[in-house]
Structure formats: structure tokens, C-alpha cells
């Protein structure tokens, strides 16, 4: 356990297209929620009268590292104002949530677990000396209330007990007191054991429950990894066992599990909630750090480069609640919803379609991914996510220039301040690997640097596009960590209105995406040809993809899902070709807000 330790936002910076992605996020919804959204701006966490549970902690969990990664003085000051207000309201006994003492037994303490994690994030970014003491009082009070029976885990706290282990582990390194492992044990005893629910994951139901809730499942994958050190139990890779069941019965081409909100099977027209995307990314980040198992790193890449950008508008001002693999339109359903437990507008791009949790929570995705770029253990540093980035740490200065995953060349410029070893992770799909022009075959490249040494390393490899089989006789095009879709051109219909005291107006209004190009196709053989175009100022722009795949298709009679005018059928009603073959350009999934991702193959 503890294979790799994470660096902080003080040591890592994004560069190139990844830095532009962070800047778009800061200029968009994430960087402005405290100005425009009542549930953050007027939250009970800071003395207001709006939501006083998960939304401010969710927002801070991404806004804080975003502010520090960008070194944005205004954003850093705004984050501090929120932390100051929260700490000022901490009760003498340590209780920190905006809840009266009488209400505590009925207050779902998922918020305690979440704000505790946020305080660790803030400390790692700011080194604010108040935080360890404040967090000590929070968790000491929580331990006492759980131990004497004043509090019990229920609902979300029961389902997400393992999230509290992030802060417990952090605090135990500073205060190695036995009540902290005891608190971890109490949480586990009262919390849900997901191994008991795996049979529920194999057959989706139109029924809402905690044990099949997609965000809970995305979070819980890391439970064993983050608990082993405190429980002193051997790690068994239970996450892989659970992941395998979830993916086998609910997997999507971009590494997600369907869930809108609960598990939804293998249909390409069922959705996945955005909160699940970023929580699954965070689970994979920690699983890789705790275990060093490279499968988690590769799975993290697939989510980050496909699922995350696809469900947020290119300017990052709007987002969906759920994304669909085959998504031919994003228009409000006039009758009942297609989704199992979500409403008729959950797939629109907007301020808070369906429900506002994702509005606050989605912004942790990119900042935490950037913090995965480099990790360390002793005097060894690993380039774990080979994205454009920079590390300044005790060992020295490393700059990685690349446009990965849109191309596969990497230039590492290294200046060593002390002796250290650099490990470069090479993905399993890499072909024809070279180091400084010479052929290499290793899955990990290892370089030793002496103090004062300066060196440039040039790494390159190839990845070839291919068809990957999907359920129901469908197929997806992949190349490396990128999934490709047939893009559908669309017109945007802007919806400005007010509901429940929350205003939607440009640029944070809602949008319907109305298709204006054909989508009823099947692949028909022939070569898949990769074409690189270069990354634009907006990396995941709908109209300027950095890379495409040229493929051949034929028209078929796909048909619409029964009862819907804006949803393609789950599977084609006929695969008889209706046209001659023609060439199309497939876009990265993350650049295609309307798309067909899973298609049949015809002769």
C-alpha cells in the first residue's frame, strides 16, 4: 500500500492544452458559482439561508485546487473567504456543519465527511495552520457523537462512509492517536458493505435505491484502498472484483457505468450522471496512487479524455446531468422521461438540469486530474499521467511538453536539484516505442539523475485506431485512450427563465441541442485512418477536433425508440444497407456533444 504519494497544487502546474482547459473552467461556471448561484452564494455554510449540506463543500473541493493550480489571487482570496466563514461558525465542541444541536441526529452526516475532505484539500493547497486543529476538533466531536450513540450513519452518510477516511488518514499522520483508527472502524461498521449488493447490479430496475446509486458506486471503488492503512488489513484488490461486475452489466465505451441515477444496464441510450464521472476519476486516481496498479491509471485517462469533456459544454458554462453514448438530440422529452429515475430534461446542457449536485461537484474533475500528472515515493518520481504539465519539487524541475492524448510525442526537460529517479509510465496500447530515437520495449521507462544534472528526454510511440466490440452487436472506434464517435451537427436553442428563485440567463442558461445532420449509419469495413489537426484554444471544441478518424459508413434504417421522437432505438431495427459506402470523419467522444458512438458493422 502507499505505492505513490500525490503532489499538491503548489508543486504541479498544467501546461499547453490542459492549462487552457483549467482557464476555461475558471472563466466558466466553476469559477463563478459563488457570484451567480444562490446555493453557493447564499449558502447556510456562510451565513445565508440557502442549502447548507453538500453543495458548498462540493464546489470548494474543485474550486480550491483550481484556484491554486492557476495561481489566481482573486480565486484564492474567494476560497479563503469561504473557509474563513466556515471556520468562524465551528461550534465550541467541534461541530462544523450549519445545523442546530437539536437537529444533529436528523442531519445526514455525509456533509461532515465531505467538509472534512475539503479541509484537507485546502490545507494541502494553502498550508493554513488553522486547518489541522479545526479538523481535529471536527473529527474528535464526530467520533464522540458516533461512539455514544447520539449520531448514527444513515442514507448518504451510510452509503459514503469511506469518504471520511481521506481526512482521517491525513490527520492520523499529524496526530497518531488511537481514536482516529477507531473512528474509521466505526464508520466501516455502520457503513454499507457493497459486496452484499452485487446481485442488484446485474439487472437494472426503474427503482431508486442507495445500493445501486451510480455516484455511490463510483465513490466506493476506492473504499478498500483508503481503509487498509488504518485497519492494518491486507489489500485484496476488491475494487477490481466490484469493477468487473459493474462494467460487465452496465459498462459504457468510455469506461463509465450507466446510471441515471441508478444502474441502467448496457443500453447505449441510457445515461450516466456527471457526478459519477468525476467521482470515478477520483477513485481511480487514489486506487493508482495506493496500489501502483497501472490498470487504474489507464482507466482514469479514458474517463478524463472522453466522459468528462463530453458532458460539459466546450466553454464550460453549462453541463448535462446525464450523458448518453448514442445521443442524437438533447431536447426535453414532451411526455415521460426516457431515463429510469431522472426527469425529462436531465440530458439538456444548462445550469442545473434535473438536480443541482453536479453543478457544484463537476468542477473537481480537471483540477484533480492535473494533480495526477506526477506522483512520488522517496526519491522516485513517476510521470503517471503524461499530459502537458510541470513539476517543481525538492528533487528539481521537470517540464513535460506534449499534446497527448491527441498525439504521442513527449519531451521531458529535467533539471535535478538532488539525486532522483524518474519513471515514465507507458500505456499498454503503445506501439513502436522510442526513447531519443532508439527503439525500446519497456512498460515503464526508468532514468536516474544526479544532482545538478540537466537532460532532455524525447519519448514517442504509436497508437492505431480499431473497432472494439460492444453489446447488442454494436461496435466502437478507439485509438489509445480516445474513443471516437460519429458527430451530429446541431443548432442550439437557448432557454432563459427563472425557477425556484434561480435565474437562468446567458451564459449560464439552459440549451437544447437540435440535430441538423444524419445519424442513421453503420460501419462498413475499410481502413480507419487517423488524422491529426492540432489542438485549438478550446481543446474539446465541437467544430475543431484536434484529431479525427476517417471511416466508411452506409445508411441503415436505425429507427427511433418506441414512444420518443428524439432518441434513437436501443439497437437498429434493420442493418440492411440503404446506400453505397461513404467516408465520414469521426470525432473524439469528448468533442461530440451529439453523437453516435456504438454502431453495427455491415458488409
pLDDT (0 to 100) of residue 428:
95
pTM for the full predicted model: 0.98
pLDDT (0 to 100) of residue 2:
62
Asked whether the beta carbons of 321 and 346 are under 8 A apart, the reply is yes
- HEC sequence for 144-170: HHHHCCCCCCCHHHHHCHHHHHHHHHH
The sign of the dihedral angle between the CA atoms of 328, 330, 333, 339 is positive
Kindly report whether the peptide bond that precedes residue 261 is cis, defined as omega within 30 degrees of 0. Answer: yes
Cell numbers at 175, concatenated: 496526530
- Give residue for cell 440530458: 347
pLDDT (0 to 100) of residue 526:
81
**Which residues have a Cβ under 8 Å from the Cβ of 42 and sit 6 or more positions away?**
48, 49, 50
> What domains sit in the chain, N to C, each tagged with a CATH number?
375-402+409-462 (2.60.40), 466-596 (no CATH)
The whole-angstrom separation of Cα 478 and Cα 511 is: 29
The whole-angstrom separation of Cα 17 and Cα 502 is: 33
> Using one digit for the tens of pLDDT, what is the confidence trace for 438-484?
999 877 899 999 999 999 999 999 999 999 999 999 999 999 999 99
| Residue 381, Ramachandran bin (φ over 0: left; ψ between -120 and 50: alpha; else beta) | beta
The whole-angstrom separation of Cα 544 and Cα 548 is: 10
Cell numbers at 84, concatenated: 474563513
Which residue ranges in the chain fall short of pLDDT 50?
1
DSSP state of 325: S
**Which residues have a Cβ under 8 Å from the Cβ of 148 and sit 6 or more positions away?**
none
234-246 residues labelled b (16+ CB within 10 A) or e (exposed): eeeeebeebbebb
pLDDT (0 to 100) of residue 376:
98
pLDDT (0 to 100) of residue 522:
98
- Give residue for cell 451529439: 594
Q: What is the DSSP string of 119-132?
A: HHHHHHHH--THHH
Amino acid at each position: 500500500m502507499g505505492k505513490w504519494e500525490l503532489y499538491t497544487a503548489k508543486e504541479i502546474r498544467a501546461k499547453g492544452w490542459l492549462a487552457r482547459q483549467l482557464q476555461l473552467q475558471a472563466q466558466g461556471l466553476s469559477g463563478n458559482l459563488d457570484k451567480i448561484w444562490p446555493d453557493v452564494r447564499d449558502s447556510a455554510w456562510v451565513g445565508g439561508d440557502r442549502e447548507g449540506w453538500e453543495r458548498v463543500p462540493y464546489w470548494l473541493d474543485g474550486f480550491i485546487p483550481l484556484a491554486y493550480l492557476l495561481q489566481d489571487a482573486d480565486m484564492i482570496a474567494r476560497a479563503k473567504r469561504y473557509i474563513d466563514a466556515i471556520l468562524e461558525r465551528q461550534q465550541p465542541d467541534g461541530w462544523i456543519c450549519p445545523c442546530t444541536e437539536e437537529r444533529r441526529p436528523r442531519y445526514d452526516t455525509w456533509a461532515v465527511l465531505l467538509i472534512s475532505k475539503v479541509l484537507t484539500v485546502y490545507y494541502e493547497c494553502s498550508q493554513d495552520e488553522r486547518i489541522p486543529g479545526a479538523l481535529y476538533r471536527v473529527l474528535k466531536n464526530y467520533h464522540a457523537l458516533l461512539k455514544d450513540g447520539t449520531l448514527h450513519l444513515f442514507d448518504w452518510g451510510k452509503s459514503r462512509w469511506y469518504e471520511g477516511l481521506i481526512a482521517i488518514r491525513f490527520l492520523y499522520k499529524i496526530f497518531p492517536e488511537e481514536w482516529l483508527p477507531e473512528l474509521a472502524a466505526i464508520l466501516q461498521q455502520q457503513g454499507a458493505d457493497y459486496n452484499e449488493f452485487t446481485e442488484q447490479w446485474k439487472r437494472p430496475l426503474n427503482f431508486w435505491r442507495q445500493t445501486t446509486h451510480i455516484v455511490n458506486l463510483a465513490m466506493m471503488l476506492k473504499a478498500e484502498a483508503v481503509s487498509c492503512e488504518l485497519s492494518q488489513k491486507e489489500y485484496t484488490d476488491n475494487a477490481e472484483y466490484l469493477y468487473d461486475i459493474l462494467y460487465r452489466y452496465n459498462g459504457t465505451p468510455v469506461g463509465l457505468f450507466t446510471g441515471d441515477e441508478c444502474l441502467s444496464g448496457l443500453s447505449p441510450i441510457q445515461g450516466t450522471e456527471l457526478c459519477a464521472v468525476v467521482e470515478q476519476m477520483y477513485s481511480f486516481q487514489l486506487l493508482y496512487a495506493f496500489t501502483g496498479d497501472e490498470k487504474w491509471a489507464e482507466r482514469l485517462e479514458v474517463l478524463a479524455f472522453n466522459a468528462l469533456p463530453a458532458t460539459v459544454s466546450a466553454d464550460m458554462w453549462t453541463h448535462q446531468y446525464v450523458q448518453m453514448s448514442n445521443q442524437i438530440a438533447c431536447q426535453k422529452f414532451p411526455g415521460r422521461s426516457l431515463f429510469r429515475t431522472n426527469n425529462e430534461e436531465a440530458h439538456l446542457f444548462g445550469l442545473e438540469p434535473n438536480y443541482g449536485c453536479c453543478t457544484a461537484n463537476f468542477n473537481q474533475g480537471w483540477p484533480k486530474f492535473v494533480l495526477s500528472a506526477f506522483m512520488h515515493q522517496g526519491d522516485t518520481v513517476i510521470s503517471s499521467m503524461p499530459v502537458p504539465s510541470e513539476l517543481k519539487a525538492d528533487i528539481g524541475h521537470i517540464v513535460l511538453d506534449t499534446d497527448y492524448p491527441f498525439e504521442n510525442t513527449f519531451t521531458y526537460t529535467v533539471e535535478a536539484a538532488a539525486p532522483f529517479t524518474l519513471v515514465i509510465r507507458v500505456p499498454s496500447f503503445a506501439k513502436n516505442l522510442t526513447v531519443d530515437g532508439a527503439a525500446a520495449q519497456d512498460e515503464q521507462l526508468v532514468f536516474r539523475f544526479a544532482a545538478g544534472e540537466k537532460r532532455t528526454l524525447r519519448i514517442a510511440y504509436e497508437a492505431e485506431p480499431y473497432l472494439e466490440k460492444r453489446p447488442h452487436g454494436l461496435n466502437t472506434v478507439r485509438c489509445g485512450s480516445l474513443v471516437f464517435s460519429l458527430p451530429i451537427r446541431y443548432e442550439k436553442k437557448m432557454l432563459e427563465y427563472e425557477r425556484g428563485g434561480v435565474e437562468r440567463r446567458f451564459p449560464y442558461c439552459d440549451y437544447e441541442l437540435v440535430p441538423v445532420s444524419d445519424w442513421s449509419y453503420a460501419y462498413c469495413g475499410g481502413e480507419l485512418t487517423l488524422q491529426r489537426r492540432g489542438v485549438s484554444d478550446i481543446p474539446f471544441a465541437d467544430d475543431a477536433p484536434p484529431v479525427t478518424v476517417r471511416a466508411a459508413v452506409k445508411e441503415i434504417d436505425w429507427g427511433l425508440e418506441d414512444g420518443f421522437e428524439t432518441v434513437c432505438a436501443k439497437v437498429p431495427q434493420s442493418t440492411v444497407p440503404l446506400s453505397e459506402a461513404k467516408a465520414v470523419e469521426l470525432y473524439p467522444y469528448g468533442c461530440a456533444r451529439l453523437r453516435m458512438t456504438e454502431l453495427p458493422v455491415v458488409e
